[in-house]
Structure formats: C-alpha cells, structure tokens
Structure 1
Amino acid sequence: MIVEQGSVRIDLLGGTLDIHPINLVLPNAYTLNLATSLKARVELKEINFPGIRFITKDYGQTREFKTEELNKANLETTLFGNFNFFVRILLLFSVKKNLEITLSSGSPPGAGLGGSSAMGITFYKAILKLLKVEEDKESIIRKVKDIEAILLDSGQTGYQDYYPALYGGVLALIPAIGGVKVSQLYSEKLKNAIEARMTLVFTGEMRFSGLNNWEVYKGFFNKNNVIRSGLSSIAQYAKEAYQAITSDDLDTFFELIKKEGEAREKLFPQIVVDSQRKLLGEIKKDIKDIGMKVCGAGGGGCFILIHKKDEFSIVEKHVKSSLMSILDFTVEKPI
C-alpha cells in the first residue's frame, strides 16, 4: 500500500496577493502561511477490480469507474463528479493499474484552509510514489494548480495553498519574475509561539473562500482605487511581518496579523459573518486586544484568534459557548 500525507495551511498574511500577475504589479506582495498537522491523506492499493475505486472517508462515499470509462472525453461530462480532479491526474500519468484510492481531507470542507489544493498535491505525490517517478516541487505545483484552475473555471487562482503540503514549516512566498521564491521561516521558537498564541476556530459553516478572486482580479486591473489601496495595505503588513520574524520580533509579528485581518475585513466586509463578529465581541469583554483573522483570501469557515499564551482558557470558554469548535493543530517541521 502507498500512503501519502500533505498539510493543509493556515494563511497568516498576504492572501489574495498570490494571484498572478497582481503579485508582480503590486510591490512587496509577500504571502506568509504555515503547514499544519491537519493533513490530507491518500492511500493507494492495487485491487482486482478492472478500474479505479474511490473511497472518501469524509463523506463515506464509494465510487467505481471501469478502465474503459477513464478517458479524456468523460472528463467533460458529469460522470466522475467530485472525483474529476483525481481522474485528471491519473490520466496525466496514463496510470494503467487497478487501484483502490482512499481519500481523507484532514480539514472540514469550505474551511478556508486550502484543503482541496493540499489534497491535489498529496494525491499527485502518491501517484509519483506509486510509479517510482521523481519530479521537482515547482513542477508539481504548476500542474496541480492548472488542473484545479480548469475545474474552478473562475479565472486566475492563487498559489499559496499548494506550498505547505510540499515544503512544510512556516513559509514566505515572495514573487519574482519567472517564479516564486520560497523562504523557510520555521524555528522552534516561532512554532511554539504560534501554537501558544493562535487558536484556530471552525464556525461549522462551509464557505468557499477562493470564489471571489475573480472579482478582486477584475477590480485590481480596472484600477479600482479601493481594491488597490486595500491590497497595498495588506502587502505592507505582510512584508513587515516577514521582517519581524526574521528579526525575532514575534510580538510585532502577531500584532501585524491582527492588523492584516482588520484591513482584509475593511476591504471585503462580507468575509466576516455575524456569528464571528458576535464571538469576537464577547471575547473582547474579557480580552480587550484580542485579534481575529478569517482564513482564506475571501473568507472561509475557519478563522484564527490572536491572544496571549495565558489567555487561551478564556478564548476556549467563549468558543465553546458559541457552539463553534476549536481545531487543534501544531506547526509542521520543514520537509
């Protein structure tokens, strides 16, 4: 059996800036994120069935497709449903083996943690392992990103979601002509600080954060001053956060995440829902300087709360009373 895992990410600062060529036009378009212990998981097992059997643990669903059905023509139909993404990768490699493929996302759907992209990367890595083929990381990202863009059919997509599953750690993605520079910022000190001062909360609501990228893209290149100014502020906070980490000023780093969250909400008010605002208001009665940032560039079902280490019990109490849930995570080491 082949088993492969890949981290979903928490975006810290600079989401939306990872859309090409906004990332090149806008100065200092840094994007910072981290690889979590919440992981997509793929299991591949050769079987006697003449084709492919998919099993999804998240939905308790099993689908089988015979070998003769696995062709490019059927990609343009509804035959494969939610498995179209994976069939495209199988066809990319011309996989001839009869396989049982078990999928587990590692995070709630619509959480804003880049789960579908992490799953795509993880599945691609599993196929590489199955076929005993090696491929460089940037090539993997380009191909999986292209396939997901076809399926989303919503214009340009961001690139940050694909990196944590391949690189691990805490990343700064720095755009450059011809590609993206990956700066690994991980340290044990940073890991411990993030785990102590950042709480990941799931509202229980599915929200697909990538779906507003097209509106941002159009607004930016239509020279919408509000969008350009807002993204410039986000870029400035992200660059300063990068500098804070590299100069070991972690208090400033956490304050900048708060500021980025506020700037993002101001630019995209719809990304914060009433239940999140209500929870934040309740926590502020006990913790005046609590900070919140919604996960996903355009708002997903998860958000992070920024607090001091000794304030976690207060945060936990309020989250539980709100009927939301805390997703426990640790920061993964670099791969």
Structure 2
Amino acid sequence: MHLSSRDQPDTLTAHFEYPARTSPGPAIVIVEDVKLGRSQLSTLHLTLWQGGLRLQAPWITLFVSRRVILAYTTHTNLLTFGGFSLPTGYGSSTAAALPNPLPDFNALKASGIDGGWEENRLPSPSQLLHSLRNWHFYVPRAGPLTPGVLDMWIRAASGERMTQAVLPYVVDSFPLTVHAYLAAPELRELLMGPPSDRDRKPGSSGKNKTSKTNDRDEEGQIEARMSLWFPTVVMNLEVKAALPEEGVEWLNVRVTSKQIKDGRFDLDVLVRDVEGEIIALSHQVALILSMERNTAKTKPSAKTSL
C-alpha cells in the first residue's frame, strides 16, 4: 500500500529482526523510506510497535511502547520485473521435484487424510498455539519422505486463498511436531516411537490405530512439546514468483535444519505451488525456550527503546 503510487506493490526481499516478544493485540507499523527507486526497486525500513499506542502522531508513548519487530524490505512489481533468465541444474535434480505421492486435495479437505498424507492436528488444550489454528498442515503418513526433512501441504483454515501478502506468515508457520521431522532418524524413533503398521503402509485403511497408540507415547510427546516455545530471532524471505491476484488454495512447503544445538536452530524453507514452481525461499534462526518465557506478562520498560 505504501508504494502503490510507484507501482511497486510486491515484496521482493524482507529481513526481519525480533528484539522483543510480540503479543496478540493492537500494533502500529512506522514506515521509513530508505531509497525510493525510479524503476524497479525501493527499500523501506519498518518498525512494529506495541503497548502505549496513540491514535495520532507520534503514535507511541516513551517508556511504555515496545519496539518488537524491525524489518528491511525491498519492493518491486513482480509482473513487470524483467531481465536475464537462466535455468539452473537444481531444476533437473530430484530435490526440485514435488514430494511423492501427490495428495488427493479433495480427500484432504473432506476428511483430513488420503493414501499418503494426513492432517497434523493440534491437541484440544492448545490455546497457547492459537496462531497455528489458522492453518491446516498435511504431513506424510509414513513419516519423513527424506530423513530430517519436513514436507507438507498447507492451506488456510478459514478457507481463504493465500495471496502474496501472507507469504511471511506461511514461511513462519509449522506443525506442532516440526522438531520430530527435522531430527535424525534414530532420534526421531526415540521421540516418536517405532512406526506402526499404518505408518509403514500409506495406502492401508488405518484400522491398526490401537497399535499406534501403544507404540507411541503420543500424549507424553504432546505435553513435552507444549512446554516449549520456538521464537524466531531472525527471518529472511526472498520471493521468487508472484502468486495469482486471486491467491491459491494450496502451497507445498519443505523445511530442513542443518543443526539443532544449545537451544538454537536454523531453518531453510522452500515454498512451491501445486505445479512445482518456486514461490519463495526463507532462512531463519530460532531458539528453543520454555513456554513460560512466552506466557509471562510483559512489563513496561523503564528505559526508552527509541
């Protein structure tokens, strides 16, 4: 909206820093023009404030308002952006292919399960993870298709189609058990237990649910996961292609992590459409903390954060 008069409606890249914890509620974003390009690119600096907000300038209250997100973004018009193109070797590699099998989207919408995929559902007492209820995550029924890789299909719980504007939200939203998918195979078995017959046979009817319950301490794993908070420290986003103006119903997301150590981990996120075209790339740094750190009341700072 800020750059609509310059015909630069699309975010090409974004770098987000999270110096403080956000909370549900009102926020104000202050936008500063760093460089307004005459042709293809403009750069902005954005600051998101919470607490002690005012209805008019200067919008914030000293010693009360908190600066909780900082961002640098570059903007363009992806539909008119032109230049040299060159196919890369990645495009012909197995890593570039959509995960197999492709889902039966109608079956997933109707029942949350098909021959190869199933919805990763949140447990009922998960008010602390209310943000995840905005999504339906569908993961492989047989576990990771590639060791240490989370392949999933995602759609909005509201039924709305996903547009360009929600891509930062897409790349920062993960199923509750994301850590178990990223773990090494031997550790995943310790976390989740041995796979049941239903998990080994994606095409089976799913009648062996008792075995799954006995083999895996699911309630214990969920309780342990609910005690953890995975806050994002830094997030980078690069948009590779423009989604249709009306948005899309489904996106494929692949998540990998190279190391989870000392309470911090990296995430690489690849987003593609149902045709396999790369829509966005993201790299993130996150922490693993106690959920109590997220639920503690935020106290007004005694110092200005300007």
User: Shorter-chain-normalised TM-score: which range?
Assistant: under 0.3
Give the structure with the higher percent strand.
2
TM-score (ref. length: structure 2)? 0.23
Name which structure has the greater RCO, CA cutoff 8 Å, separation 6+. Answer: 1
Flag the structure with larger Rg: 2
TM-score normalized by the length of structure 1: 0.22
Larger % of helix: which?
A: 1
